[in-house]
Amino acid sequence: MRHRYSILFFPLHVIVDFLSLNTAFVGAYFIKFQQLEAVFQPPYTSLWVLFNVVWLAEILVLKPYIYPRQLFKAYHLIKKLLILMAIHIAIISVYWVAVKGYYYSREHLFITYILFTGLAAAFRIGSVLFLQEYRARGYNNRRYVIVGYGKLAASIQSFYDTHPEMGFRFHGYFDQPSADNKGILRGGYDDLYACIESDGIDCVYCCMPYIDNGRMKTIVENAENVDYQVKLLVDFRGFLARGASVEYHDFLPVLSLSSQMLADFQVNTLKRSFDILFSMAALGLGLPLFLILAAITRFTSKGPIFYAQERIGQEGKPFKIYKFRSMYVNSEKSGPVLSGGLLDARITPWGRFMRSTRLDEVPQFYNVLIGDMSVVGPRPERQYFIDQIVEIAPEYRSLLKVKPGITSIGQIKYGYAANIDEMVQRLRYDLLYPKRRSFLFDMWIIAQTLRVMAQGRGK
């Protein structure tokens, strides 16, 4: 009989865990009280029985000893053990409060769980090490074949060849013979079932790119009679790297491909929550400073305090961006012109100071609060300049997939751009953001921005 010892793994785990639990309970009592008589008498017998009943219930309900070979690793086993322990502790705690069992020693309970965790974890680690070595020596194997030959098929064979501790042994490729697979196949589709019966094959991997649905259906239907597993190999690697997700239409899995690489719910939720809190704090706590900046802007040059301009935001949606005015009025009456840096004659003396310290950007916290922008993100540009940038660097379009920000890597490393070529150079920095975006990375960019502001190095 194949794998005649595998059936023993489940009862062995159960027996060892119960032995560990009871040894820990009695051993902890001895460590605490230096005697064992009372542990066999009420009220400790009731608690002892409950310990075992709760653990048995967890085994029956959660089935913690059922796992595939690929997950038979110390990390997964210890993690599952800790989950079981947490549930066990919670139930015993509820019982302790319900019966007002203050006569039970808390130190005894604490030592019991420490001992049990140590014993159970030691057994699991020992089991992993033993089985890995046992399987690497050629015992307790699972025999598999691959139907459909190609790069994907070769990759699964390579994976198991480099992990002999998993105990998977390769028994050949099966496919329609051709010039590409000559000398590689063990046989064609008609030879597959004879191999399964003669070699006692446990698992048949079907490579979806290289096998048609009709043949795969036959393989699946035959599995019920011959007793082997069928596993499908689908090459999602290129899609998953582009932000694909799996949806379920009733029982039918559907792979959803999206160009929105950064539609990660957790990151976006955390980022938006931070944006709201940070912008509210900045606008609230910085109000006295903003009033001073507004007054100085108003009295140092003629014109409005704020400057509003249309920019392009996420997914190409236009919005109005707000700044403290740093240029003389009507500086662009002849058409859109990029700033020539701090020496640009259109910039007011006070505007040069605000630009070097980035204080002119402060009103954009209002844009953040209403959702047009984020605190951290690529700088938004006007459509007029975007059209010119895209002609030189088409990859700029990827930046429109994320929300623009007040500060960015490009603003820190490069600063303001005076022409299209400089905008493209700054773009090289900003293109790093979508690939590395995270909450901690945002914090680093904000810290660097504050340093630039304090040093007055904005340009």
The full set of domain ranges for the chain reads 6-136, 142-235, 265-455
Cβ 242 vs Cβ 264: under 8 Å: no
**Would you identify the CATH topology of the domain 142-235?**
Rossmann fold (3.40.50)
Query: What are the φ and ψ backbone dihedral angles of 37, each rounded to 5 degrees?
Result: -60, -50
- Calpha distance 367→152 (Å, rounded): 48
| Nearest CA-CA partner of 349 in 415, 303, 300, 290 | 300
Q: What is the pTM of this model?
A: 0.44
CA separation, residue 256 to residues 239, 259, 261, 383 (Å): 9, 10, 12, 31
Strands 405-407 and 374-376: parallel
- Calpha distance 190→177 (Å, rounded): 11
Cβ 144 vs Cβ 170: under 8 Å: yes
- Calpha distance 352→174 (Å, rounded): 73
End-to-end, the C-alpha distance of the chain in Å comes to 77
User: Quick check: helix, strand or coil at residue 75?
Assistant: helix
Is 250 a residue whose pLDDT tops 80? no
* Mean pLDDT confidence for 430-459: 79
Q: How confident is the model at residue 266 (pLDDT cuts 50, 70, 90)?
A: low
Query: Cβ atoms within 10 A of the Cβ of 439, count?
Result: 12
What digits encode the pLDDT tens for the residues 341-367?
566 778 898 988 888 888 888 999 999
Residue with tokens 């500086």: 331
Q: How confident is the model at residue 157 (pLDDT cuts 50, 70, 90)?
A: confident
Query: Cβ atoms within 10 A of the Cβ of 279, count?
Result: 21
Is 52 a residue whose pLDDT tops 90? yes
